[in-house]
Structure 1
Amino acid sequence: MWISHIPYAEANGRLKALYDRVKGPDDNVDNIMLAHSLRPHSMEGHMALYKYVLHHAANTTPKWFLETLGVYVSQLNDCAYCVDHHFSGLKRLLKDEARASAIRSALQSGSFSGVFTDAEAIALRYADVLTRTPQAQDALKSCVDAMRRAGVDDGQILEVNQVVSYFNYANRTVVGLGVTTDGDILGLSPGNSENPDDWSHA
């Protein structure tokens, strides 16, 4: 990491309280969270957004597909940190090594046929356009219209939009500060979707 940070053992006050909310086994705090340690309020904002966008019971898009969108956006942004973390999380959700491998290959090739439904493939195309050419309004609207025709309701379109937007933010946080996975435990997440205030990583 290219900026200084406060490790868990040296934290106190509000920062220590936040670390205790987000930590995993053995007091491990992911480096993406450690990167916020000089401004705990931004860590709190980041975690609230992450939890509500990706791990909330009110979402109706399957969590595995939201994670897939995150992996794809991170791949497009060359953010190895988020690809490694979230593909590990995706594998834990799927519990199917062959399916996970097929998804990874499809994302890397950009060929989604046979691996994803039509609706999922359109959502991935939307993620591509929003990530790489967000100024392409006609293409984005075309993707939104196509998702709707494929049976994706407007609330789910919003979920897709928010996950894609969140990962672009997270990727730029990581890439812009030189954050690596050194010392992280890959694949953990605040997965208790029923409790939006539970940020612990397990």
Structure 2
Amino acid sequence: MAWIKTVPFEAATGKLKQLYARVTGPDNNVDNIMMMHSLRPHTMEAHMAVYKYILHHSANTIPKWFLEAIGVWVSQTNGCGYCVDHHFAGMKRLLADDPRSDALRAAIGAGDIDAMPLDAREKTAMHYAQKLAETPAGMVEADVQALRAAGWEDGEILEINQVTAYFCYANRTVLGLGCSTDGDVIGLSPNNNADPDDWNHR
């Protein structure tokens, strides 16, 4: 499951046990990406807070399915199959359009933004996310201006930026520690957007 030691749900005590209880899914399943933090529970707490506030917060105005789609695209760009699998499943559930979801997954796998079943505004966001993931030092003001010209408001541009940045962090957590999907329940996520402190994955 990982290249470092992790503490399973049944062996957790103290702060770790409390955090596991907050992030569990069915049958007390804890996603492996969270279990990666088990030797330093404070980093799990930080990770979940960032994740919930950036991707699953009621103050976001971009539809959550598209934020998830950005995450899948960034994860594909970074070669993180773990996050692609998890977040595609979540995106597909949210979009509730299997043919469109599958076409989007195929285009993401091919690295082809033009083939993505998205509108021009959404494709511009994908171009921004790809550049930020691949060549962050190459970002220029014109990249933000392109988003604005495509119809994104500045608050939405911030959402796109933060989701891209979060997934780069998550991808590197997974890839740097050898995290696999073994034993995971794919595609679960916190669904209570109204409460940023509710991390439950049921």
- TM-score under structure 1 length normalisation: 0.96
In structure 2, the gaps of 5 or more residues are none
* Offset, 1:102: 1.4
Tell me which residue corresponds to 1:38.
39
Tell me which residue corresponds to 2:52.
51
Question: How many angstroms apart in 2 are the aligned matches of 1:137 and 1:45?
Answer: 27
* Offset, 1:113: 5.2
Tell me which residue corresponds to 2:169.
169
Tell me which residue corresponds to 1:128.
130
Question: How many angstroms apart in 1 are the aligned matches of 2:156 and 2:31?
Answer: 29
Match of 2:117 among 98, 104, 115: 115
- Percent identity, please: 57
- Indicate the SS of the match to 2:136: coil
Tell me which residue corresponds to 1:85.
86
* Offset, 1:66: 0.3
Amino acid at match of 1:195: D
**Alignment length, in residue pairs?**
200
Moved over 4 A (4+): none
* Offset, 1:114: 6.5
1:149 matched to 2:146: no
* Offset, 1:117: 1.3
Question: How many angstroms apart in 1 are the aligned matches of 2:114 and 2:164?
Answer: 17
- Indicate the SS of the match to 1:135: helix
Contact 1:113/1:121, CA 8 A, preserved across alignment: no
* Offset, 1:108: 2.4
In structure 1, the gaps of 5 or more residues are none
- TM-score under structure 2 length normalisation: 0.96
Amino acid at match of 1:186: I
1:192 matched to 2:192: yes
* Offset, 1:143: 2.3
* Offset, 1:193: 0.5
Distance 1:108 1:27, change over 3 A: same
* Offset, 1:167: 0.2
Contact 1:123/1:143, CA 8 A, preserved across alignment: no
Structure 1 window deviating more from structure 2 (45-54 vs 101-110): it is 101-110
* Offset, 1:107: 1.7
Question: How many angstroms apart in 1 are the aligned matches of 2:15 and 2:115?
Answer: 48
Amino acid at match of 1:198: D
Question: How many angstroms apart in 2 are the aligned matches of 1:111 and 1:93?
Answer: 21
Contact 1:122/1:143, CA 8 A, preserved across alignment: no
